[in-house]
């Protein structure tokens, strides 16, 4: 059994076991450990993006070439992806997004709330299957399901990691 704090490692192992070879990301504190694991793995190509929508196009190209890709971002990044998500919708590409939430639980920064508050609505409008995770114990099971649905059935799938799971951001040191 892993301790709850190990959930980013479980996430990494699940993606790796699921055959993910390209990981696009805009850096996010909630994904820091996962990004570190991806960067350290010689079998995984980590692709730092200038904006999240690049990762949607990257994943489509990867699938055209027979590889599995995922996109890591925080909730604000989903807003940047909306039009590019037309690509997996029009072509039925697999699109697996791992979204860390901002603007909900214990959020200090009010500017994170406008986008954070519409994540569920945006995902529904973009025809994404959503797996929302609030407890560390649920991460691995949800990740396995998300990988299977995205690549096994060429679906848009979002795994949404709640702010309670990630923890409170410390603003004063």
Partner 1 sequence: MSLERRAAMAALLAGRDDDLLVVPGLGSTCWDLAAAGDNDRNFYLWGAMGGAAMIGLGLALAQPRRRVAVITGDGEMLMGMGALATIGLQKPANLAVIVFDNGLYGETGMQPSAAGGGVDLVNVAAGCSIGACLDVRDEAGLADLAARLKGLDGTLFARVAIAPDEPPRVIPMRDGAALKARFRAAVGVNS
Q: Find the binder of partner 1 among 1, 42, 66, 121 (CB under 8 A).
A: 66
- Asked if residue 75 lies in contact with residue 82, where contact means CB atoms within 8 angstroms, the answer is no
- Smallest distance from partner 1 to CB 117, Å: 26
141 lines the binding site for partner 1 (CB under 8 A): no
Cβ neighbours of residue 169 under 8 Å, at least 6 residues apart? 29, 106, 108
Helix (H, G, I), strand (E, B) or coil at 82: coil
Which one of the spans 7-15, 56-64, 130-138, 164-172 is the region binding partner 1 (CB under 8 A)? 56-64
What's the DSSP call for residue 169? P
Extract the tokens encoding 150: 């995205």
Q: Find the binder of partner 1 among 27, 65, 114, 141 (CB under 8 A).
A: 65
39 lines the binding site for partner 1 (CB under 8 A): no
Nearer to partner 1, 98 or 136 (CB): 98
- Smallest distance from partner 1 to CB 36, Å: 17
50 lines the binding site for partner 1 (CB under 8 A): yes
Which one of the spans 10-18, 45-53, 134-142, 162-170 is the region binding partner 1 (CB under 8 A)? 45-53
Q: Which of 163, 132, 139, 133 lies closest to 12, judged by CA? A: 139
Task: Report the relative pairing of strands 20-25 and 156-161 from DSSP bridges.
Answer: unpaired
Q: Find the binder of partner 1 among 61, 114, 141, 167 (CB under 8 A).
A: 61
- Asked if residue 47 lies in contact with residue 22, where contact means CB atoms within 8 angstroms, the answer is yes
> What is the Cα Rg of the chain in Å?
15
Chain residues in the site for partner 1 (CB under 8 A): 19, 21-22, 45, 47-51, 53-69, 83-84, 86-87, 90-93, 151
């Amino acid at each position: 059994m892993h301790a709850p704090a190990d959930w980013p490692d479980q996430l990494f192992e699940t993606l790796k076991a699921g055959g993910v070879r390209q990981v696009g990301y805009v850096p996010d504190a909630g994904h820091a450990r996962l990004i570190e694991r991806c960067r350290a793995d010689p079998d995984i190509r980590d692709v730092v993006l200038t904006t999240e929508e690049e990762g949607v196009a990257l994943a489509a190209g990867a699938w055209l070439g027979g590889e599995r890709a995922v996109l890591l971002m925080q909730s604000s990044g989903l807003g940047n992806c909306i039009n590019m998500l037309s690509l997996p919708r029009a072509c039925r590409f697999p699109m697996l997004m791992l979204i860390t939430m901002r603007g909900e639980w214990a959020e200090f920064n009010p500017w994170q709330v406008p986008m954070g508050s519409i994540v569920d609505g945006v995902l529904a409008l973009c025809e994404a299957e959503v797996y929302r995770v609030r407890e560390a114990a649920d991460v691995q099971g949800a990740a396995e399901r998300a990988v299977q649905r995205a690549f096994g059935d060429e679906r848009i799938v979002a795994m949404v990691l709640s702010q309670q799971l990630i923890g409170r951001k410390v603003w004063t040191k």
